[in-house]
Structures are given as C-alpha cells and as structure tokens.
Structure 1
Amino acid sequence: MKGLMADRDTMIKVCKLYYLEDLTQSEIAKLVGISRPQVSRLLTKAKNEGIVRIEIDSGSLGNSEEISLEMKERFGLKNVIVADEGTEVGTITSIAISAAKFLPDYVKNGQLVGISWGRTLYETVERVVFNGELPNTTFIPLIGGVGQLRHEYQMNSIVEKIANSFHSNRYYLFAPAFIENSKTLNMMLEDGSIRFMSEMWKRLDLAIVGIGEPISLSNAFKNIYDKEFLANLMKHAAVGDIAARFFDASGIPCVSGNENILGISLEQLKEVPEVIGIAGGKEKALAIHAAIKAGYINSIVTD
C-alpha cells in the first residue's frame, strides 16, 4: 500500500512540475530522480486516471482561430497552429507547448519522419507526451551534428528523444554537418551509412523543422562559420535558414553558403509531402514568410 501511495505522490509531483511550473521532462527526471521515459509514462498515466484534466476555454481562442484560418487561406497551408497569447512563459516555450500538443495526434504509424534542429524544436521534443506506440514509424536526422554546440543542435539526441516519446524506431547520423570542402563532402557521401541516410531523405513522409533567424541576429553558428562565409550570407541578404540551408526574402537559396553541408537540401525538402515548421517571434517573420512562399514548409506552428 505504501508503495502505491509513493507512486501516486511521485505522479502528482511530476504533474505539478510539468503542468504548473513548466519544467521539461528532462529537468523533472533529474529533480525527481527517475528516468525521462518514466516521467513520460507517469504523465500519460495521470491523464488516463483523471488526475490531470485539460480544459479549453473556447471563448479565449477566437483571435488565434481567426489568424489560423486567415493564414491557411492566404498562403494555402495545410495546418496553421497559433500559440496562445497572454502566456507568461515566453514566445519559444508557448510555441513549443502548442507544437507538443499538436504532434501526438498528427504523426502516424508507418511514417518516415525527418527532424531538424533549433531552440523551439528542441523544447517541443522535450514536451511531447504520447499515449501509445508507433512501432512502425521511424525518425531520422535531416542534417549532421555540430561538435560541442548547444544541446538544441545535437541532432542524434533530438532524434532519440522524439523517437522515445513515440516508442518508435530511429536512425542516427554519425557525421558532422559542416564539411571543410566539397571534395571531402563527396567522399563522405560515398560512405555506405551516409549514403543510406541521404537516400532516406528522398523517401520522407513528413519533416518537422525549425526555422532560423537572419544570421546577423543569431549567435548559434558564428563560431563555426568563417568570416568569408558570413560575409557571403550578408551579401545575399539571407533572412533565415532551415537545417543550415540559408535563403533570401523570396525563398531563393543562398547558394554560396550552402555547398559544403551534410544535410537535406532545400530542393529535397520541397519534395517532402508535408513539412511542419515550428518557429515564431518578430525576428523570424521574414524567414517564415520566405519558407512558406518558396514551398519549403506547408504547415506551421507559430505565435
């Protein structure tokens, strides 16, 4: 009996930390002293047992719904999810919360799903709670890794987290995103495991991607790119990127900055049946508009 009470106490503590204090599942796992999958299972169990009940005040959603419908009609988008306004958690977190609620009902069993990187996408993956299993779904990275850059750019880790949430399969890409020159890149593409991954990019059913702000506003890659590369991006008026593939306000790729990257190309991304962009904030408005205009994304979760 004491064991059952202890389990229930842990479940309630986990729910309070997740829903009331807005901690991520990883943060809760460290704080409570259990694994992240255990946190996920406790959250799911709490919903099933009625400990957690989610209510929606439809009266407060009118503005978001209007914006969503207007964007869908104006840009011909498949899905538009507008994060709730008036939240105290900040733009990135509010978008991540909305995306984390949307994805569990949207990803289907049997799909091949590509994942990119970014702060908002990372927070989304941290918050996904899925009640069930998708044993025939496979998650793969859309770009290589980046040394010791922040955790939101560690592709294999992001893929592992979301695959664990959906109890799905996953493949990793053990190669860097940024290659020294085209000769080295071509040699790497001949490697069997890397060639296998690049072939999978052509067969994606769904891609879930972050969208970067203009390079002039971002500190993420400034220590990786050389000055000539950054100058080229400025010269071509890059407004943003998807998986380190930069484009201008019309959505045209900034070719001089895109050659030596091990990752899906923007042209390949356009061939994916559905690409969900997860991004927001005023600084990304031009990049999001350009990505929609060029057809790189056809669904968006934004503020």
Structure 2
Amino acid sequence: MAPEPRSSNPEDVRMALRAARLYHFEGATQAEIAAVLGVSRPTAGRLIARARAQGLVRIEIVVPDELRAQVHTDLERELEAAFGLTEAVVLGDAPDDSPASLAPLARAAVAVLGRRLPAQATLGFTWGPETIAVATELGPHSARCATVVQLDGSLTSSDYQTGVEFTLGRCADRLRANPVRLHAPLYADAATVVALEQDSVLGRAIALGRTAEVMMFGVGTVSTATTLFEGSYLDTALLDELRGLGAVGEIGGRFYRADGTDVPGSLAARTVSVGLDAIRACGCTVLISGGAPKHQAVLGALRGGLATILVTDIECARWLLEKKEGARP
C-alpha cells in the first residue's frame, strides 16, 4: 500500500515524528506520549498512525544470521495465504525414512499443540511414524487435554508394529488425558464395518473421533513405500486400482485425489476410521509431513481442506508454493 500524502506543515511532521520516536524507540505508551507532547491520548494515537501512514516510520523484521537456516516466517505466511491455513511451520531439513529425521517436525508439532490444544478438548490421531515421533517428543508439561482417541483401526494379520499402543499411551500420560482405543482392523468387509460402528464400545470410539476438537496426522503415499503396504493392509493390485482412480495420498486409510476429493470405489465402505469429511469439519487439524516422496500427498490434502495447520520442511514448502494453483480460496 502506498503511503498517504505527507503533510507540508513542518509542525505536523515534527509532532508525528516525536510521537513515533517515543513509541517505537523509547517504548512509551500512548498516555505517556500524550503527557510529553501536551495532547490528548486519542491525538497521540493518531500521530503514531500518521507517522506510519505517511512513510515516516520504516519497520524492518530481521532474522538473526545464525537462525536463517531454521526460521522461515516469510514462507510460512505465503503458505497460509495460498492454502487458507491457520498456521504453517516450516523447518530446515527434510525428513527421510529414519525416526530421528522426524524429530524436528515432531518438536514443532508439540509446540503447536502447546498453543492450540484446549485443556478440555479431545485430541484424535491416526497411527504412523509422524504421530509416533510427536508422542516421543511430548514432555510432561507440553500441553494438556481431556481425551486422546485413535482415529483409525490398526489390527492386521501380520506382525507389523503400528506404534498405536505407544502413541496412545504416551499421549495420554503426557497430556494427562483419558485414552480411548479403537481396537479394530483398518479394513474389513462393509457389513463388518457397519457392525463395528454399532458396537457399544467401538462405536463410541469412532463417534468420539469424529467429533474431536483437534486432530493430528501424517499422510501416506500410494506406493509400496507406504506403511499400509508394509503392514499388509494393501497389496499391489489394490495400489494399482487406487492409482487408476486418481489417488495421490491417504489419511487414516482413506484415499484422496490430487484436488483433495475422496477417491471413489468400495474401499471407503470397508474402512474403519474417521471419514475425510469429519477431518474437513474439524476446526484444528495438524498435518505433520515432509520429504520429497510426500509432496504430492501433502498438496492434495491442502487442496482438499484436510489440514488447517501444516508442519513441514523448506523443500516441501517451496514445492507447494510452486504448485499452489488449485489451492483453497
């Protein structure tokens, strides 16, 4: 925005400069400025505003040199504007497949929870390496909530370790919350899913998950590198079918396309997890993800309104901004 025309009256400029100096350099309040300059408090406020509007004050925000590789507030603001996010947190290094590489993202997510998680809220999570990392980084005073609930089933015929018990138990302990386990498979036949939802215990967990005030999750890819394939939840034939339907990512075992819309087909009716519509309806959804293999899945999630808060790495952030066409208005 261009500055408004500057007054040609030296006294007007002098008073605006005096007020601005007192306010910005000496930390004076408007009441103190009014007393020093002999004007009313509202007039002091107008003088400060006039100095800014007429270009007499220049405010510069400087990132310390030693933190330039770690702090990326300009990119965060661009992401928030491009995708309609409540908050974006951008870190320096992209994670790889190792748990240690997820620790910085997890610590940032813990900080977000400390600011965003109400003490009386229910926190829902989907299982995966990102939420395991968050649980690992939680300290005894990181945050607090009333209930922690598992959003997706995890039982499988293989010996694959999902980390659900660790994530649920540690989150409940650190957040001083009541844990609610969804002791069910991720995929079953459609009739079984209906029966599970009607079960007095499992149905309560699913219903509680759907109405959680805060949800946190990572995203999965449509590839053999996904945890769903590694855990024998999906096979190559089903992956091929999902790709043919346009799937680019999944949250809680539910797949979505590049524009963020749900993938059609019978798999959704066989999935024991909170639906994508419930995630879209949640007021605070924290997506924790990064690394080049996850770029397309993160983009689809953002386009589909599946996250209000994003915690990611700088490479992913830059890639998302390059692809921001089709972002949420």
TM bracket (short chain): 0.7 to 0.9
Paired residues for 1:1-303 under 5 Å? 58-59=64-65, 60-61=67-68, 64-85=72-93, 91-131=101-141, 134=144, 137-147=146-156, 148=158, 150-151=160-161, 153-179=162-188, 181-218=189-226, 220-222=228-230, 223-256=232-265, 257-303=267-313
CA contact (8 A) 1:138 1:169 kept: yes
Taking structure 1 as reference, are residues 149 and 106 closer, same or farther at Cα in structure 2, changes over 3 Å only?
farther
CA distance in 1: counterparts of 2:110 and 2:175, whole angstroms? 12
SS of 2:247's equivalent? coil
AA matched with 1:157:
F
Taking structure 1 as reference, are residues 64 and 149 closer, same or farther at Cα in structure 2, changes over 3 Å only?
farther
Name the counterpart of 1:39.
none
CA contact (8 A) 2:114 2:143 kept: no
Deviations along 1:39-97, one digit per CA (max 9) or x if unpaired, are: xxxxxxxxxxxxxxxxxx84424751111111011111001111234999864333223
Taking structure 2 as the reference length, the TM-score comes to 0.67
CA distance in 2: counterparts of 1:67 and 1:236, whole angstroms? 33
Tell me which structure has the larger Cα radius of gyration. Answer: 2
Name the counterpart of 1:17.
none
Deviations along 1:268-289, one digit per CA (max 9) or x if unpaired, are: 1111111110111111111111
CA contact (8 A) 2:106 2:130 kept: yes
CA distance in 2: counterparts of 1:87 and 1:265, whole angstroms? 27
Percent sequence identity over matched residues?
19
CA distance in 1: counterparts of 2:95 and 2:142, whole angstroms? 29
Give the number of equivalent residue pairs.
244
CA distance in 2: counterparts of 1:213 and 1:196, whole angstroms? 29
| CA positional deviation for 1:264 | 0.4
AA matched with 2:298:
I
CA distance in 2: counterparts of 1:271 and 1:132, whole angstroms? 26
| CA positional deviation for 1:219 | 5.4
CA distance in 2: counterparts of 1:121 and 1:104, whole angstroms? 15
Deviations along 1:126-162, one digit per CA (max 9) or x if unpaired, are: 111142773x5111010112335544x2434312111
SS of 1:284's equivalent? helix
CA contact (8 A) 2:128 2:163 kept: no
Deviations along 1:196-243, one digit per CA (max 9) or x if unpaired, are: 122213321110111112324425425222444222112113111111
Structure 2 gap segments, 5+ residues each: 1-62, 314-329
SS of 2:229's equivalent? coil
SS of 1:259's equivalent? helix
Taking structure 1 as the reference length, the TM-score comes to 0.73
CA contact (8 A) 2:110 2:142 kept: no
AA matched with 2:119:
N
CA distance in 2: counterparts of 1:98 and 1:84, whole angstroms? 12
CA distance in 2: counterparts of 1:273 and 1:182, whole angstroms? 29
AA matched with 1:293:
R
Name the counterpart of 1:5.
none
CA contact (8 A) 1:141 1:173 kept: yes
CA contact (8 A) 2:220 2:227 kept: no
